[in-house]
Amino acid sequence: MSLSIFDRKRILVTGGAGFLGSHLCERLLNDGHDVICVDNFFTGTKDNILHLMDNPNFEVMRHDITFPLYVEVEEIYNLACPASPFHYQHDPVQTTKTSVHGAINMLGLAKRVGAKIFQASTSEVYGDPEVHPQTENYTGSVNPIGPRACYDEGKRCAETLFFDYNRQYNLDIRVARIFNTYGPRMHPNDGRVVSNFIVQALKGEPITIYGDGSQTRSFCYCDDLIEAFVRMMDAPSGITGPINMGNPAELTIRGLAEVVIEMTGSKSALEIHPLPMDDPMQRCPDITKAKTELAWEPSTSLEDGLRKTIAYFAEIVC
């Protein structure tokens, strides 16, 4: 799409070379905007954005948002942070810094230039929930000293900062709580359940299940989630969130493994391992707020989304 100079926005995407960030950059460029992709390439990769490099409206900066950044933009999408337990527990102090110092730096930038700013928060703020499905007014059940706390509490603190900047400085904020999302460009070794299962199935390796597999998750395809991001950013200024974004269709982990084995034609067996500490037993969003305020709900079926994701991994691991 080609926009006039008056309609084209200058948009910053932190974590723009990551799984979701790269899809967001692609969407914003297709909508005709100028996009600055910022990434320190800890979990992001240039492979995710190579196809965007020739676009004259696309710019890439290697930068860690725990340090200040000075650019002139109108919108900021703050997606920078390792999102899988394998990666965020690798350096938990840096994970907390990315969530907290990164939020402070991006909020400071937004305040300085008068930009609208979006925070990619997470369903992990609910911890191991005692309410099911989770609504936005549920305050969560989180272990602040456990191995997942660097991510869970880091994201909770980031939300606090966003709403304090909104109250204290009248900053235009948007906070989205992202539930399990999957699709092409996921890191093959990130330890997340969809990528794990697909890679193991394609290689004919045992499918690793933690616990008895009865724990539930809900899985949203990446294109649906990016649509929700854009709708929230384009919504009126009163729509601050937090808003749950995910697919309310619930599935057990064992059920997902069986679907992946069937769709890949794999002969992989299931291999049971102990459940990690603080791993939630249930995770499913109530998306009433997203439906009401954004007129959004996911439209991609699990089978269609998995088919596209399996095709992607088949090219890079086989």
Q: Stretch 188-206: mean pLDDT, rounded?
A: 92
Cα of 78 vs its chain's centroid, Å: 10
Per-residue pLDDT, 213: 87
Closest of 212, 301, 199, 215 to residue 260, by C-alpha: 199
- Whole-model pTM over 0.85: yes
Catalytic residue, from 77, 88, 126, 151: name it.
151
The structural domains of the chain, with segments of one domain joined by +, span 10-317
CB distance 72 to 65 below 8 Å = no
DSSP 25-58: HHHHHHTT-EEEEEE--SS--GGGTGGGTT-TTE
**Of 22-26, 83-87, 230-234, 285-289, the least confident:** 83-87
- pLDDT above 90 for 74: yes
Domain 10-317 in CATH 3.40.50.720? The answer is yes
Per-residue pLDDT, 278: 66
Task: Give the model confidence (pLDDT) of 221-252 as tens digits.
Answer: 999 999 999 999 999 989 999 999 999 999 99
Per-residue pLDDT, 87: 73
Mean pLDDT for all residues in the chain: 94
CB atoms within 10 A of CB 46: 13
Question: Of all residues in the chain, what percent carry a pLDDT higher than 70?
Answer: 99
Per-residue pLDDT, 128: 87
Highest mean pLDDT among 62-76, 179-193, 199-213: 62-76
Q: Stretch 50-54: mean pLDDT, rounded?
A: 97
Task: Give the model confidence (pLDDT) of 149-180 as tens digits.
Answer: 998 999 999 999 999 999 999 999 999 999 99
151 as an active site residue: the answer is yes
Q: Are strands 207-210 and 75-78 parallel, antiparallel or unpaired?
A: unpaired
Strands (E), 48-200: 58-62, 75-78, 116-122, 173-178, 181-182
- pLDDT above 70 for 84: no
